Structure 1
Amino acid sequence: MKFHAIELPLGKTANSIRNSPKITILVTITLVLLTLIPLYYLLPGYASFPWNSSSSSSSQKLSSAIPPSSGDHGGVTSGRECDIFSGEWIPNPEAPYYTNLSCRWSIHEHQNCMKYGRPDLGFMKWRWKPDECELPIFNPAQFLEIVRGKSMAFVGDSVARNQVQSLICLLSRVMYPVDISYTRDEDFKRWNYTTYNFTLATFWTPYLVRINEADPNKIGLFNLYLDEFNEEWTTHIEQFDYVIISAGHWFYRPMMFYEKGTLVGCHYCLKENLTDLNMLYGYRKAFSTAFKAINSLPNYKGLTILRTFAPSHFENGVWNQGGNCLRTKPFMSNETHLEGKDLELYRIQLEEFSIAEREGKKSRGLRYGLLDTTKASLLRPDGHPSHYGHWPHENVTLYNDCVHWCLPGAIDTWNDFLLETLKIEGRKSFEGSIHTSDRKMRIR
């Protein structure tokens, strides 16, 4: 069921010098630096180098050993390690960094809060401040240099697509991409940034595993084959250098669970003599299967990134019974906390991620990274479109949207996190190349 490309919890929507060890090391370091450090297209007011914030672990803990560069929106300033995912929202009068006019073709109507008259535009003027350091604002030129010649796939539901739209808009300050999609299906899009030979793709898969419609007479009830790969995305991602995986809100709806081809239970299906296994059972199995699919691909050598669950903010009712999100500023971290099913979904993601990371690294040396957007998103009840996804006089089948995010808006910070993750991986590769060269020199 498609309503202006929107997706709500209960409905689908609208990329030789052999004799001198010292010279060999110098050449290696120089080549790595030239590959990773953006030397041009630097924009005023953005970070200048990819390592002004650095990390030694996949939990994105940043060291302050490297000072912030001039013109940086922050840079690490504390003398301790910093968890960039723990902090507060603070005012940012310089935002936004694009508008619904400069990026009109990428912003879906139901997320175009500026166009449809949202009066409190302050929701665009906040940035995430980690507790012990600064998180640089997204630098589009820097991002494109880091991903030059590479490819990136977002695998998940329409909230994953929401992040891609934000990324395209943030990158629009440097250039717009060319649509190179292999299908007309809007659920599977692909773009190329020709100057950088960078490919960006989306694979719409709200349950991550194979599904089909359970009952033609009951719209929205799906069969989930919890132990079977969804080949609509798993057969494509071997070619990608980065795969960002996420899912969540669709698991609140009715589902039929199959394993080994047999119906084993359901969630809120209201069928007699069928075990209610609840949403958490299906959620864990789906993520386990999705990660197994990635770890089993023989030619996949990319970085797999988990983007954690972003809670919705319905108040005074659920999504289809009058619930809305009308707050106009962020929460402070001591004003709310993750609880209930949202907390369980988050825990399951982290547990399955840990298992997959351990198994992938042990069996094939695969790399994993974490984009923990949960806390920052929890604190932004003001960031959703609510009813500002259409004109007030329009007669549309559309509920208040407290799941997706206005563009520009809070979701842009997810791409601040993403760029920091890529910089961290760049530093790891750099340090790894030095250690490898050093070992070779000692062996000789």
Structure 2
Amino acid sequence: MKKASLAAEVPNGKIRAFETFRNIILPILTTLILIAFSVSSYSTSNSLLQSFTFSSNNASTSMGIERRCDIFKGNWVPYPEGPYYTNKSKCVIEDRQNCMKFGRPDSEFMKWRWQPDECDLPMFDAGRFLEVVRGKTLAFVGDSVARNQMQSLVCLLASVADPVDVSYVTNTKFRRWLYKDYNFTIQALWSPHLVKSRDVDPNGTSANSLMSLYLDEPDSAWADHVQEADIVIISAAQWFFRPFLYHKRGRLIGCHKCTQTNTTKLTNFFGYRMAFRTAFKTLSRIAKPRGLVILRTFSPSHFENGDWDKGGNCVRTKPFVKSEVKVEGYVLEMYLIQIQEFRAAQRRRGTVKLRLLDTTEAMILRPDGHPNHYGHWAYQNITVADCVHWCLPGPVDTWNQLLLQILKTEEDELKHLLNHN
């Protein structure tokens, strides 16, 4: 951001006073303002933390200062043209997100676009995206919602290029796609807890079985592979509501929803915070120098009329407006934990760049975007509604619109630095 030169405008008789102001008072005022801003960043009173801005193409300028726009703050507006692709496009959509395949009767959920409050969000440009990531590897680290975003991206790019499956294992939770013409690779690294975990129940994992989390040890499922990635998008959410035994330095320190006696009872929020703390510390140590690590924030579910295992569903067919819902309760708590650990990682100033893909405020408004009963799980359990994942095509495609803007901004900043060195 350009700063106007003030020295030339100061009358000669006031130069000394101005220099005193500039050299002593102004730095103090600047420090106080920055402290106040840092404190207010954690305020939950009015709105979510505003975390990323980019230059709007049609932004007005005043005295050489460019107007900036928060692309994560806005509303959903009708978009009759519909989605970028269909469920018949040449891309892989898991059955549980393939809402139209299994008879969802309405299509309006695909006909909304995200409109930031103070600028326009450019439409997704598949060709531009592939040029920005040419020669790079992009890794999605997290649970099945992270894979949901990866599948959305592959479908969005299908209008320009067809990838080759270069997965090194048959487990589709670890899918790898190579775009040969661009030497660009997308990979999914499934790690729902981000840290090392182990089944405690001898019968294996079930919806509410007890698991051990080793909060200071990263999950090797991603930690052993992330070094090759130029861009890492990290996220985690819904798996942190189950019963846990928490371990640090190889010993039990507490538990969540457990029946063990003489064990400190801790919340799921504790485990969530420690998992992200370990993940960020690990990434700062092993990720590529000058690589880009992006936190995709909490993706809220929208169960109504009961919990997921008690008949809950998500039958709405249009977005909320802001006056109808706000980020609060456990969603706000999970979101703030992510933000606080992200900011702490920024302060540690590692060799990687940290950026936010702040989707929480936008997605709390989209109860209509989930499969509900119009997606089939691998074991064909259609009695349980899915109000966690997102239909493809659907509102999750907006995440990749926002991702493109982040990547373009990084590219522009790099060009600016090169041009001035």
Q: TM-score range, shorter-chain basis?
A: 0.7 to 0.9
CA gap 1:113/1:121 in 2 versus in 1, 3 angstroms: same
Match of 2:276 in 1: 287
Which among 157, 161, 164 is matched to residue 178 of structure 1? Answer: 164
Is 2:115–2:121's contact at 8 Å kept on the other side of the alignment?
yes
How many pairs are equivalent? 362
**1:187 aligns to 2:173 (yes or no):** yes
Structure 2: tracts of 5 or more residues without a match: 1-49, 60-65
CA gap 1:217/1:161 in 2 versus in 1, 3 angstroms: same
Which among 72, 78, 81 is matched to residue 68 of structure 2? Answer: 81
Match of 1:351 in 2: 340
Structure 1: tracts of 5 or more residues without a match: 1-57, 69-78, 438-444
RMSD: 1.8
Match of 2:247 in 1: 258
Match of 1:144 in 2: 130
- Structure 1 residue 267 displacement after superposition: 1.0
- Structure 1 residue 399 displacement after superposition: 1.1
Question: Which amino acid letter does the alignment assign opposite residue 401 of structure 1?
Answer: D
- Structure 1 residue 236 displacement after superposition: 1.0
Match of 2:146 in 1: 160
Mapped to 2, the partners of 1:67 and 1:346 lie a distance apart of 31
Is 1:324–1:402's contact at 8 Å kept on the other side of the alignment?
yes
Match of 2:119 in 1: 133
Question: Which amino acid letter does the alignment assign opposite residue 308 of structure 1?
Answer: T
**1:272 aligns to 2:264 (yes or no):** no
Which among 315, 331, 338 is matched to residue 320 of structure 2? Answer: 331
- Structure 1 residue 334 displacement after superposition: 1.7
- Structure 1 residue 298 displacement after superposition: 7.0
Mapped to 2, the partners of 1:337 and 1:134 lie a distance apart of 23
More helix per residue: 2
Match of 1:34 in 2: none
CA gap 1:382/1:274 in 2 versus in 1, 3 angstroms: same
Is 2:71–2:119's contact at 8 Å kept on the other side of the alignment?
yes
User: Cα deviation per residue 1:38-82 (whole Å; 9 max; x = unaligned)?
Assistant: xxxxxxxxxxxxxxxxxxxx9321234x449xxxxxxxxxx8421
Question: Which amino acid letter does the alignment assign opposite residue 412 of structure 1?
Answer: D
- Structure 1 residue 398 displacement after superposition: 5.0
**1:238 aligns to 2:227 (yes or no):** yes
Give 1 or 2 for the bigger CA radius of gyration. Answer: 2
- Structure 1 residue 279 displacement after superposition: 0.4
Question: Which amino acid letter does the alignment assign opposite residue 148 of structure 2?
Answer: N
The more displaced of 314-323 and 395-404 is 395-404
Q: Percent identity at matched positions?
A: 54
Is 2:373–2:382's contact at 8 Å kept on the other side of the alignment?
no
**1:90 aligns to 2:71 (yes or no):** no
User: Cα deviation per residue 1:259-312 (whole Å; 9 max; x = unaligned)?
Assistant: 111111111123222221010100000000000111111754310000000100
SS of the residue 1:187 aligns to: helix
TM-score (norm 1): 0.79
SS of the residue 1:89 aligns to: strand
**1:63 aligns to 2:55 (yes or no):** yes
Match of 2:398 in 1: 413
TM-score (norm 2): 0.83
Is 1:239–1:300's contact at 8 Å kept on the other side of the alignment?
no
Mapped to 2, the partners of 1:398 and 1:142 lie a distance apart of 41
Match of 1:101 in 2: 88
User: Cα deviation per residue 1:168-216 (whole Å; 9 max; x = unaligned)?
Assistant: 0000001111010111122211110011110000000000001111121
